[in-house]
Amino acid sequence: MGSGLWLKRRPPAYCNLGKDSQPARFRWIRAIPAKEIEEIVSRIKPIGRIQRILVVGRSSAGHAQEVWVEGTGGKCALSREHRIRKTLGFGSMRSTLFTVETERDNKGQPLEFIFYGGGWGHGVGLCQYGAAGRALKGQSYRQILEHYYDQAKLEKI
């Protein structure tokens, strides 16, 4: 995953339809105050003052599968997609396909966490914008479905 530059850029992609779509669905940024995340996490597990957020496990597609929120008094492990999104994004976290950076004050304490993300969903199915982009570029429905569901077989029954 490295520095996460790939989520900060807008590379050519079928789901980046430009003026014909909302680019915020392709790439997005959320800045969440540390205090807000700390408050939500404390309802799950008291960890003290929040220090950092680490993505410690990812799916093969890059989606966060396990995230640790570390504080001065321990850590809280988040491991389900909806739990991660709800805890870290308050409904605005569009996907678990993200990287996170920390903005700190002059004493080194976290002020806010900046999430750079891609997509809008769970990352295990067909991307509606990607499918639309592929259709606009002339791909058939069979080519589109084969891209998203490469193990599936289309047959007449």
Instruction: Indicate the pTM of the whole model.
Output: 0.75
CA–CA gap between residue 56 and residue 110 (Å, rounded): 19
**43-52, 58-67, 123-132, 138-147: the lowest-pLDDT one:** 123-132
**What integer pLDDT is reported at residue 7 of this predicted model?**
67
**What integer pLDDT is reported at residue 155 of this predicted model?**
85
Q: Pick the residue with more confidence: 46 or 150?
A: 46
| Residue in 151, 149, 144 with CA at minimum distance from that of residue 15 | 144
DSSP state of 138: T
SS3 150: coil
